[in-house]
């Protein structure tokens, strides 16, 4: 999973702006232009829809004469991506942008996917002004400075920032829990924390904290291949256990099966095990079974129907994994197959 912010930080200007946390307007209205004569324009939520006050982050409308309008309720700045579907196929998805309460004009170029569309409002001016000037984008790209640390420092200096709030949600939704996210959240003003979005984020961080490194991995309510409820599983007395979250539609998940099978074959007798957990929908159970059979996966497999447990643990990106020791303690997270191979070679002789 690539870091999300680099594309936002290249063509930026320094425009200091004072960000206000509330706006008397109760709607946002986007008057949009797009270089397509047809299609459905869709606003896409950042993270889960639950972060939005009406618990809806998807909005769509038809393109007419290369124009579109979206008007919906809005209590404070929200973050979205925007996409275009033609004949049910995605032909364009933008990078993240912010809408403010009130009217604003938006211009999308379908030849520039993953770029920020042209939009001018107070929050976007903060993004391209005070946020962008908080560090040197070229230096970030060349030296790999930690964007989480940058976000922490920016939030300390700008505790009323909705740019920071939604960037934190974006990082959290893309990477899963990291302890630095608690530190970032702590810097927000009371006003930000008391927004609907701020309160939901606090609950999500609190729930996800149970799978931080050093914690005991929790038991989960799952189903087996016979659709029988089971309570996993982590006290298996193996020296090391990899909990691997995946699903049948995840190409990168399937791509690493061969590497995981090799590691399992090499180290299982020495104390290494794998537990697979798929978050597929209940109607996909036969496809799930067939895929396991096709790839001859020898380790235990369970289903988290519709991703309920994944959502509780704030696992949004697949594949995701947790490496546990014999006591069920999380000792590594999202470890690559190469790093896992090196670890097992060193610790299971």
* Average pLDDT estimate for 140-144: 40
How many other CB atoms sit within 10 Å of the CB of residue 90?
12
Measured distance CA(93)–CA(152) in Å, rounded: 28
Rounded Cα gap, residues 111 and 173, in angstroms: 27
As given in the structure block, the two tokens for residue 208 are 């996800």
Q: Give the pair of three-digit tokens for residue 254.
A: 């399937």
Check: CB of residue 184 under 8 Å from CB of residue 155.
yes
The C-alpha atoms of residue 337 and residue 259 are separated, in whole angstroms, by 7
What's the mean pLDDT in 329-337?
93
Task: Check residue 55 and give its pLDDT.
Answer: 76
What pLDDT band is residue 239 in, cutting at 50, 70 and 90? very high
Lowest mean pLDDT among 160-174, 183-197, 218-232: 218-232
pLDDT in tens, 197-228: 999 999 999 988 888 889 899 888 888 776 66
Tokens of 153: 């420092």
Q: What is the pLDDT of residues 246-272, one digit of tens each?
A: 999 999 999 999 999 999 999 999 999
Q: What CA–CA distance (Å, rounded) separates 320 from 235?
A: 20
Work out the pLDDT band at 23, boundaries 50, 70, 90: very low
Q: What confidence tens digit (pLDDT) does each residue in 75-134 have?
A: 999 999 999 999 999 999 999 999 999 999 999 999 998 999 999 999 999 998 888 887
Segment 125-147 shows an average pLDDT of 65
Q: What is the 3-state secondary structure (H, E, C) of 172-229?
A: HHHHCCCHHHHHHHHCCCHHHHCCHHHHHHHHHHHHHHHHCCCCECCCCEEECCCCCE
Task: State the pLDDT at residue 278.
Answer: 93
Instruction: Tell me what pLDDT residue 84 has.
Output: 96
Q: Are 74 and 43 in contact (CB under 8 A)?
A: no
3-class DSSP assignment, residue 33: strand
Q: What is the pLDDT of residue 102?
A: 94
Task: Enter the DSSP assignment of 58.
Answer: -
pLDDT at residue number 143: 38
Q: Which residues contact 340 (CB under 8 A, 6 or more apart)?
A: 242, 263, 323
Whether 230 contacts 301, CB under 8 Å: no
Name the percent of the chain lying above pLDDT 90.
62
pLDDT number for residue 277 = 94
What is residue 11's predicted lDDT score, i.e. its pLDDT? 28
Q: At what angle do helices 162-175 and 179-186 cross, to 10 degrees?
A: 170
DSSP 8-state code for residue 133: G
Residue 335, pLDDT score? 94
Q: What pTM was estimated for this model as a whole? A: 0.75
pLDDT given at position 234: 55
Round the average pLDDT of the chain to a whole number and report it: 86
pLDDT at 52 over 50: yes
**Mean pLDDT for the stretch of residues 268-297:** 92
Least confident of 172-176, 227-231, 255-259: 227-231
Calpha distance 257→293 (Å, rounded)? 12
- Rounded alpha-carbon distances, angstroms, from residue 132 to 7, 14, 80, 149, 151: 12, 7, 19, 14, 11
Lookup result for tokens 């397509």: 36
Report the DSSP pairing between strands 221-223 and 97-99.
unpaired
Res 12: pLDDT: 30
């Amino acid at each position: 999973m690539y870091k999300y912010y680099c594309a936002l930080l290249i063509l930026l200007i320094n425009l200091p702006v004072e960000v206000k946390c509330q706006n008397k307007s109760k709607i946002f209205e986007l008057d949009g232009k797009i270089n397509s004569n047809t299609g459905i324009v869709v606003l896409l939520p950042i993270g889960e829809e639950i972060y939005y006050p009406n618990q809806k982050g998807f909005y769509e409308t038809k393109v007419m004469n290369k124009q579109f309008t979206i008007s919906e309720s809005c209590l404070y700045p929200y973050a979205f991506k925007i996409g275009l579907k033609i004949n049910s196929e995605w032909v364009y998805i933008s990078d993240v942008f912010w809408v403010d309460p009130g009217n604003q004009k938006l211009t999308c170029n379908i030849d520039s996917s993953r770029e920020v569309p042209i939009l001018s409002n107070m929050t976007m001016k903060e993004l391209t002004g005070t946020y962008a000037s908080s560090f040197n984008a070229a230096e970030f790209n060349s030296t790999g400075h930690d964007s989480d640390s940058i976000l922490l420092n920016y939030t300390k200096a700008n505790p009323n920032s909705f740019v920071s709030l939604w960037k934190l949600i974006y990082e959290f939704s893309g990477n899963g829990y990291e302890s630095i996210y608690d530190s970032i959240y702590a810097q927000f003003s009371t006003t930000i924390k008391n927004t609907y979005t701020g309160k939901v984020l606090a609950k999500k961080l609190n729930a996800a904290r149970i799978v931080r490194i050093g914690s005991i991995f929790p038991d989960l309510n799952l189903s087996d291949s016979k659709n029988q409820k089971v309570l996993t599983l982590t006290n298996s007395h193996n020296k090391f256990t990899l909990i691997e979250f995946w699903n049948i539609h995840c190409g990168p998940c399937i791509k690493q099966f061969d590497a995981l099978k090799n590691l399992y074959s090499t180290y299982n007798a020495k104390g290494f095990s794998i537990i697979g957990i798929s978050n597929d929908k209940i109607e996909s159970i036969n496809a799930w079974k067939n895929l396991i059979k096709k790839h001859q996966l020898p380790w235990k497999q369970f289903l988290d129907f519709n991703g309920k447990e994944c959502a509780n643990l704030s696992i949004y990106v697949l594949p995701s994994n947790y490496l546990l020791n014999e006591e069920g303690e999380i000792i590594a997270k999202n470890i690559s197959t190469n790093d896992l191979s090196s670890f097992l070679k060193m610790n299971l002789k």
